[in-house]
Amino acid sequence: MFQMDKLAMKIRLYSYQSDIRGLLPSAVIQQVLKEQGVSYRQTLYTPIVVVWAWISQVLDSDKSLSNAVSRIIASVSHRRRGGSLSRHRGL
């Protein structure tokens, strides 16, 4: 049963991220940052990642910070393994 819960969480994660990225593309966030004169380093928690994590946190039934951070870590881990979020959207 535990494995099914993990799978359901991953499917929900991919769906959230695809939806959020579609609603608020990184180019839009980057444009706002540029207009406001904001500069930042490329770290794990860029302003783009923070905005997407915050939106997913607000929309999720589990609004905890630890849940939002877990989604970020899972997303980074998945991308480093060469996964594509769009592949999993239909699951």
* Averaged pLDDT, groups of 10, the chain, 91 residues long: 55 58 84 93 89 86 89 80 51 27
CA dist 42 and 39 (Å) reads 10
DSSP letter at 61 equals S
Domain that holds residue 31: 11-88
Instruction: Give me the number of domains the chain comprises.
Output: 1
Per-residue model confidence (pLDDT) at position 32: 92
Establish if 25 belongs to a structural domain.
yes
Establish if 4 belongs to a structural domain.
no
Per-residue model confidence (pLDDT) at position 11: 53
Establish if 2 belongs to a structural domain.
no
Establish if 75 belongs to a structural domain.
yes
Per-residue model confidence (pLDDT) at position 34: 94
Establish if 48 belongs to a structural domain.
yes
Q: What is the pTM of this model?
A: 0.61
Whether the CB-CB separation of 51 and 24 falls below 8 Å is answered with yes
Establish if 40 belongs to a structural domain.
yes
Per-residue model confidence (pLDDT) at position 25: 85
Widest Cα–Cα separation across the chain: 49
Per-residue model confidence (pLDDT) at position 59: 82
Per-residue model confidence (pLDDT) at position 19: 67
Per-residue model confidence (pLDDT) at position 86: 44
Establish if 37 belongs to a structural domain.
yes
